[in-house]
């Protein structure tokens, strides 16, 4: 006969699960300064400013993450001659510390950066630049968790287990690739010079083989030029550049390859192609590609346990938010703004609109993500009375719904593209755009994992018939565990009770010995 006080034999396993530690959302202010090429006495007017934020490195330290990055500014301005538009490109490196409780060296940090406000001001022959970045950082760890998978050598043992699929890191690879392309610019645009370009990269397919991954996608390029047309000193052209690249992978082969593509730099120039006024545009886009996969393993975990005789069992649990999938979310929706230029010179020809979204609220709902915010708008346009371009700045509310369900919606990056401006009246213009959403998402599964099981004295039970009224949401297992009886015995005495318990109160009969 077994001793009722014999310690149970606990079966353990070091579970190689990738866990979510913590995340935080904040802002980083990046500033820079550069000398203007003209004379100190020449009047300088800043027309519009755009910025590209690129993450260089994220280092996990004790209770914080150090973020190193670079912001590339593109500024349209006039200097001396107000009708002549010029451009200036400048880069500012930055380091930004982020406090994250629980972060430790050796963990992995995923960081997303996106500009929320960009401005430039000229004074004393120098251009002061500033960008406010939205920074979201999350920390993951691959440190194994010691969990209980089963219990043995206990009389009257009742076990509840579940088989879960856990994620482990697989193969991965990262590489910067230079994508080149060229095309012809129509003579009708009367382009004199090409100023700068912005780009959005989209991955269409990623396929993995032995130690290599093939990535195909498209780069959408928007180029700003100077034109000799009297009514349109600035013109915009758009181009699509396909890419097909192969990356080397290291590590054990896994499933579910996902790839992120980040535009790190864009360079453009145009040259005369002949006497008919056509020009050849040459573009170079530095693209950062990162591919990763994951390996999966099925593990049987102990969910709950109790005894129907002898000592009771005490279970210790640990709350774990484990990563069950990595995925790259890409989607886009079209938007529209109507701008009222109250008190401004009348609009004759809109030239360009620069949009910067500022997110104020994110609401997941039934597989969709509702995004609300303010759209920072800089409008560049021509009037009837002045041959120099005008600038008008405003902020307009926007609300958009995307067909996606990220686990951490704060990590999304919104990038406007295909921005078209159409005059409606002399004081009203319509802005149409495509808002691209990109997110390097991790799907999370919050769970309570059993980490220890010990025997403890059980309270005395009075023999006889017990009548119990179940509570809403209470399962058959919960009732059986409460009274330390076999669930099958309860079902035999109560044939109408459901397996998962009652949405409403039910009377349950039990026999206690």
- Mean pLDDT calculated for residue range 186-196: 94
CA distance 39 to 41: 6
* E-only strand ranges, 308-427: 312-340, 349-365, 368-382, 390-402, 413-425
CA distance 276 to 289: 40
CATH class of 460-513: alpha beta
Q: φ and ψ at 432, to 5 degrees? A: -110, 145
**SS3 at position 490:** helix
Q: Among 196-210, 341-355, 481-495, name the one with the lowest average pLDDT.
A: 481-495
- Among 181, 261, 259, 189, residue whose Cα is nearest residue 221: 181
- Mean pLDDT calculated for residue range 85-91: 95
Partners of 88 in the β-ladder: 75
- Residue 2 pLDDT more than 50? no
Token couple for 441: 């998402």
**SS3 at position 40:** coil
Domain ranges in the chain are 19-141, 460-513
Q: Among 48-52, 420-424, 442-446, name the one with the lowest average pLDDT.
A: 442-446
- Among 115, 88, 103, residue whose Cα is nearest residue 34: 88
The whole-number pLDDT of residue 6 equals 66
- The pLDDT mean for the chain works out to 90
- Residue 204 pLDDT more than 80? yes
- Mean pLDDT calculated for residue range 309-335: 91
Proportion of the chain above pLDDT 90, given as a percent: 65
Q: Among 4-8, 418-422, 452-456, name the one with the lowest average pLDDT.
A: 4-8
CA distance 475 to 503: 10
- Residue 279 pLDDT more than 60? yes
The whole-number pLDDT of residue 376 equals 97
CA distance 334 to 403: 12
Angle at 173 between CA 172 and CA 174, to 5 degrees: 140
Measured CA to CA in angstroms, residue 180 lies from 23, 175, 286, 289 at distances of 37, 16, 9, 16
The whole-number pLDDT of residue 1 equals 39
The whole-number pLDDT of residue 503 equals 46
The whole-number pLDDT of residue 419 equals 96
CA distance 189 to 69: 37
Model pLDDT for residues 23-38, shown as the tens digit of each residue: 999 999 999 999 998 7
- Among 68, 234, 52, 40, residue whose Cα is nearest residue 127: 40
Question: Residue 197 CA to chain centroid, in angstroms?
Answer: 24
- Residue 3 pLDDT more than 60? no
Partners of 265 in the β-ladder: 286
- Among 104, 35, 32, residue whose Cα is nearest residue 69: 32
HSE-up of 277 (CA within 13 Å, CB side)? Answer: 9
Partners of 163 in the β-ladder: 300
The whole-number pLDDT of residue 512 equals 65
pTM for the whole thing? 0.87
Do residues 59 and 66 make contact, with C-beta atoms less than 8 angstroms apart? yes
Do residues 305 and 167 make contact, with C-beta atoms less than 8 angstroms apart? no
Q: φ and ψ at 244, to 5 degrees? A: -145, 105
Question: Residue 15 CA to chain centroid, in angstroms?
Answer: 27
Do residues 133 and 113 make contact, with C-beta atoms less than 8 angstroms apart? yes
Task: Convert 314-334 into a string of H (helix), E (strand) and C (coil).
Answer: EEEEEEEEEEEEEEEEEEEEE
Task: Convert 157-181 into a string of H (helix), E (strand) and C (coil).
Answer: EEEEEEEEEEEEEEEEEEEEEEEEE
Residues sharing a CB contact under 8 Å with residue 123, sequence separation 6 or more, in sequence order: none
């Amino acid at each position: 006969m077994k001793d009722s006080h014999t310690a149970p034999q606990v079966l353990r396993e070091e579970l190689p699960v990738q866990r979510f530690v913590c995340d935080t959302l904040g802002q980083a202010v990046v500033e820079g300064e550069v000398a203007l090429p003209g004379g100190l006495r020449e009047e300088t007017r800043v027309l519009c400013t755009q910025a590209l934020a690129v993450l260089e490195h994220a280092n996990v330290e004790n209770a914080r993450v150090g973020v190193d990055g670079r912001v590339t500014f593109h500024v349209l301005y006039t200097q001396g001659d107000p009708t002549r538009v010029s451009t200036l490109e400048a880069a500012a490196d930055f380091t930004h510390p982020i406090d994250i409780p629980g972060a430790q060296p050796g963990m992995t940090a995923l960081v997303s950066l996106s500009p929320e406000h960009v401005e430039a001001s000229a004074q004393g022959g120098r251009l002061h630049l500033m960008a406010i970045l939205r920074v979201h950082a999350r920390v993951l760890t691959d440190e194994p968790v010691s969990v209980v998978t089963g219990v043995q050598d206990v009389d009257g043992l009742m076990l509840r287990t579940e088989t879960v699929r856990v994620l482990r890191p697989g193969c991965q690879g990262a590489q910067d690739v230079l994508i080149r392309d060229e095309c012809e610019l129509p003579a009708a645009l009367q382009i004199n010079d090409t100023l700068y370009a912005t780009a959005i990269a989209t991955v269409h397919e990623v396929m993995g083989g032995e130690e290599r991954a093939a990535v195909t996608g498209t780069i959408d390029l928007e180029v700003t030029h100077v034109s000799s047309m009297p009514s349109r000193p600035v013109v915009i052209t758009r181009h699509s550049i396909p890419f097909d690249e192969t990356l080397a992978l290291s590590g054990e082969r896994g499933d579910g390859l996902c790839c992120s593509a980040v535009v790190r730099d864009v360079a453009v120039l145009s040259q005369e192609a002949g006497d008919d006024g056509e020009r050849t545009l040459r573009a170079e886009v530095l693209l950062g590609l990162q591919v990763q996969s994951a390996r999966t393993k099925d593990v049987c975990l102990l969910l709950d346990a109790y005894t129907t005789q002898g000592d009771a069992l005490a279970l210790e649990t640990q709350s774990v938010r484990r990563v069950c999938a990595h995925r790259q979310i890409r989607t886009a929706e079209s938007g529209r703004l109507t701008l009222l230029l109250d008190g401004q010179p009348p609009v004759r020809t809109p030239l360009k609109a620069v949009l910067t979204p500022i997110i104020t609220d994110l609401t997941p709902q039934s597989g969709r993500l509702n995004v609300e915010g303010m759209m920072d708008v800089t409008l560049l346009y021509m009037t009837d009375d002045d041959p120099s371009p005008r600038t008008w700045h405003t902020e307009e509310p926007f609300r958009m719904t995307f067909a996606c369900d990220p686990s951490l919606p704060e990590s999304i990056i919104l990038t406007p593209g295909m921005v078209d401006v159409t005059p409606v009246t002399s004081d009203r213009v319509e802005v149409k755009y495509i808002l691209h959403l990109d997110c390097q998402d991790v799907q999370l599964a919050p769970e309570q994992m059993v980490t220890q099981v010990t025997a403890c004295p059980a309270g005395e039970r009075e023999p006889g018939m017990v009548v119990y009224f179940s509570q809403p949401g209470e399962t058959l297992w919960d009732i059986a565990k409460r009274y330390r009886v076999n669930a099958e015995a309860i079902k035999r005495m109560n044939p109408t009770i459901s397996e998962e318990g009652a949405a409403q109160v039910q009377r349950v009969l039990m026999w206690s010995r």
